[in-house]
Structure 1
């Protein structure tokens, strides 16, 4: 008897459950390693999780795919951020305020991801990256575009694009690194500086919109 797409045999259900558990184990293991400051390879995660390398590569075909999955897991609710406000400044403040504690909590993970990005850049410059896929970053682009969306039509698109790029300097692990590592500050100080700078940028953008 044929089985519909909605129905599963007990064996199929068990196999699907086993795959989900293995995927969860792999991801949790990778998160633990990156929270320890390590940029793990797929083989590293396989060994730590107690699964074969062949199994690990079925879930994460490259280091870039592995790290991207961990970054998405660390970002968590940030990726689902939405605002009901119609005020761009309020939306930007809400995005940054709600995101910074999560970024601080997973600081080691985001630092490790940044390290991979920088290492791959160096490899590309030296021509030694080979066939390893490039790890790309950019979730902040869509989030910030959504945050400043109320200004669309009030300022030129070039100005809106510039604003998004300026705000992106404040949104992410880079801001924490500058305040903590260079200035010797705390996560709370980083939050205060980021919000102050964001408000200054938004005030400039609002003034530009009023002149249009």
Structure 2
């Protein structure tokens, strides 16, 4: 797994064979642990077991809560694990013959949406007209690996500037929703 992560971090495509070579082990040994490319990428994927990105005690203000969650989600998850998240996204977008639909959840677990939903919880009382799961998805779309890829690869921004834009975009979605009381 460490060799696969190094290969991905170096911008190199990773296979079971290339990870085995980088780790200095035989292909046969590697295939005992990882039957295929998908298994290797799943093992190299970040294992983030935290249920919450909010501090204890968490602030009551939804904007402050979301800002705290975004800081961790963008910097400590998306930017820190960018190579692994790119590889997982590539597998998730692969044609069905290469990606088994049942395995898609292994790599794309929806943690970001759960963390954002937790940040938005106070809105259930103050803004009952908001569809919080939809709002969380909209915010997540502005702040995850997909947004980072577009902003850096297509938009030409630096990773640091892309992080600023993702955070500002996500906070703008929240502001718009709370000001209008409905979203979208």
Smaller-chain TM-score bracket: 0.7 to 0.9
Post-superposition CA distance 1:77-114 (Å, at most 9, x none): 87762331222211111111223233334433322322
CA contact (8 A) 1:29 1:48 kept: yes
- SS of the equivalent of 1:185 reads coil
Distance 2:100 2:131 in 1: 38
Post-superposition CA distance 1:179-211 (Å, at most 9, x none): 22222222232222222222221122323559x
1:42 aligns with 16
1:175 aligns with 147
TM-score (norm 2): 0.76
Q: Whose helix proportion is higher, 1 or 2?
A: 1
Larger radius of gyration: 1
CA contact (8 A) 1:154 1:209 kept: no
2:86 aligns with 111
Indicate yes or no: 2:113 matched with 1:141: yes
1:185 aligns with 157
1:32 aligns with 6
Indicate yes or no: 2:61 matched with 1:87: yes
Distance 1:186 1:58 in 2: 39
Q: How many aligned positions are there?
A: 176
Distance 1:172 1:130 in 2: 21
1:97 aligns with 71
RMSD: 3.1
- Residue segments in structure 1 that go unaligned for 5+ positions in a row: 1-26
Distance 1:142 1:93 in 2: 15
